[in-house]
Amino acid sequence: MDSSDCPHRGKVTCVSPFVPMSHILPKIMPSFVARSVLFISILLGFAVPALGQALQRCEVVPQDGHRASFQVDGIEKTCWHFGRQYERPFLYPFHGPQQSQLTRIGHPGAGNHDHHRSIWFAHHDVAGSDFWSNTSGTQIRQKQWYCYQDGPDQATMAVQLGWYDNQDVELLESDVVAQMTPLSNDEQLVEFQLTVRPAGSAQKVELGKTNFGFLAVRVAKSLSGHFGDGRLTDSKGRVGEKAIFANAAAWMDYSGSVAIGSGADRKPQRQGITYFDNADNPRYPTHWHVRQDGWMGASFCMNDGYTISQSNPLRLRYLLHAHGGDLDTKQAAEIAAAFDQRAAFVIQRSKKPHVHSEVIRVTE
């Protein structure tokens, strides 16, 4: 892909990852040798990487099998799977503190729910096509990756997806940004931004009224209320499926017991996932589709359909917090407030050498 093909939305200051030898060598070499090497480097135009900048704490590492691994200090925290053998991309695993498993693949007791793959984007009615189940013949495919960005505090991925009906006609095109941020106590945040627009020359696409879509989370079996000892709680203080289902809330939490360690050291620990809507999203606060059997999803079209057009693409932002212990409502409120104040992501053409695209935040 030529850099001219990449999106260009806004500007960012580019900071070089290199520093001149004159900043480094005099401190680590005898002055005569340093000056000699510096003279040669000036003549030849060499530069050397600054110490510590070659390695970043947070990374997105491409893997075999069409995967992109989000890592902190070389330890995987979650992984994006986008192979064509799947009906849609998904994130798995999603680790909590001490590498616990907070999500799972599939329903614990229903074989017809294998489309529940940990954390995924989908929708049940896109112009009449079902992108939710695994039996409709539709597929959400990754068309390209824009960038994988590493850093000391975050790892960020941006990709483009195509939504194809059962006749292989592309109905929607979407950009997905996912940013992983490690916190203290081995917790993590993963922030998502989904921007959806009609594919090709189509001017608009209708989303039908449905409980299913866009971002869904299937929690670990032991976290669920039915199969484990989990507890569903929303931002209004409501508890359990019956009290929460179809109601609006700024965030949702599923907390319970998970296993940490292995062998003789394996033991239960209280952990959970808090799922945040964003105040800039249309229809905020969202209505929620939740189940005691262990899943939760922001239900964007629960009460009505929605029209996406070229002039009015749909942008949705969500945040997942993998936390230790049971729900801390004060912490959840603080994270929600900070998320609501944070600027949205922008994918733009990069001015950095050998880098086509980058993700930045721009205040609108």
Condensed to tens digits (0 to 9), the pLDDT of residues 68-100 reads 999 999 999 999 999 999 999 999 999 999 999
| Contact by Cβ (8 Å): 195, 315 | yes
pLDDT at 52: 61
The CATH classification number of 62-361 equals 2.70.98
CA distances from 332 to 3, 108, 196, 287, 326 (A): 40, 28, 28, 18, 11
What's the pTM value of the predicted model, to 2 decimals? 0.86
SS3 label, residue 98:
helix
Q: Which two tokens stand for residue 71?
A: 């890592």
pLDDT, tens digit, 9 for 90 and up, residues 135-172: 999 999 999 999 999 999 999 999 999 999 999 999 99
User: DSSP 3-state helix, strand, coil percentages of the chain (rounded to 5)?
Assistant: 15, 45, 40
pLDDT at 274: 99
Percent of the chain at pLDDT exceeding 90: 84
How many CA atoms within 13 Å lie on the side-chain side of 180?
A: 31
**Residue ranges in the chain modelled with pLDDT below 70:** 1-53, 364
Question: What is the domain partition of the chain in residue ranges?
Answer: 62-361
DSSP secondary-structure letter at 100?
A: -
pLDDT at 108: 95
Q: Which two tokens stand for residue 235?
A: 């931002």
Residue 200, class by beta-carbon neighbours within 10 Å (0-12 exposed, 13-18 middle, 19+ buried)? exposed
**Close Cβ partners of 108 (under 8 Å, ≥ 6 residues apart):** 221, 224, 227, 293, 294
pLDDT at 363: 79
pLDDT at 54: 82
pLDDT at 66: 98
Q: Which two tokens stand for residue 17?
A: 């990852």
Question: Cβ of 297: how many Cβ atoms within 10 Å?
Answer: 23
